[in-house]
Structure formats: structure tokens, C-alpha cells
Amino acid sequence: MAGLEIWPGATSKNFKADPRVSVHFLGMPGHQKPARYQQWQINCIWEEIKNDDPRFVFGRTLRELTLGKIGRSFVPGHIPIENTPVRGKYPSGWILWAIEVRDKGLNMAGV
């Protein structure tokens, strides 16, 4: 998983202090298992990448494709570039290397 430093601050400081990161994904019940509440915990190790890294360039390009050159999002919930502190000038990026996946879902059948 990859990302860009859009909101410099506490997250970067936390990553640098301890590179262990957990990401939580939440999914809605599927048609085959309507009573199953889906969620996963992905445990990762964080790696910082700088703007000359090809992975950083790829991430920045994907963000531009998502937000467009003018900074308006085509995806609901995305914050326009002009409303972020970096305004498209990302100081760094990161890679999250998955080292463990835990199924945290609840099987609600019979509950």
C-alpha cells in the first residue's frame, strides 16, 4: 500500500517513532453471507519515500488522476488540493509493507 504525505504532522512523527502500522478495513456484508460483518486488520511496516522515488511519482500521478489537475475530486469524500496544507507539494510519501492480515470480522448468524 502506498500514500502521500498530505497532512504533515502527528502521523509522520508517529511513523518515524515506531514503523509498525496497523490499518483497519471495514466491508459490508456480502450476498453469500448476509449475516457476516467483514473487517480486517493489516499489520505493516512503514517505509518513507521521497519525491525522486519512482513509487512516489506513481502515487502522485494516481492522485492527479483521481483529483484532476485542477484539484477537484472525482471521488466523493476527497478533499480538494487547495484545501490541504501542502497544496500538491507533497513533502514525502510512504509504503506500507503488509506483514500480517487478521480477519477481525464477526459472524452474526445466530446472534
- CA separation, residue 93 to residues 6, 34, 78, 89 (Å): 9, 38, 18, 11
* pLDDT (0 to 100) of residue 47: 93
pLDDT at 102 over 90: yes
Total-model pTM: 0.69
* pLDDT (0 to 100) of residue 38: 80
Domain map (residue ranges) of the chain: 2-106
pLDDT in tens, 37-55: 788 899 999 999 999 999 9
2-106 CATH: 2.30.110.10
Alpha-helical segments (H) within 18-107:
54-67
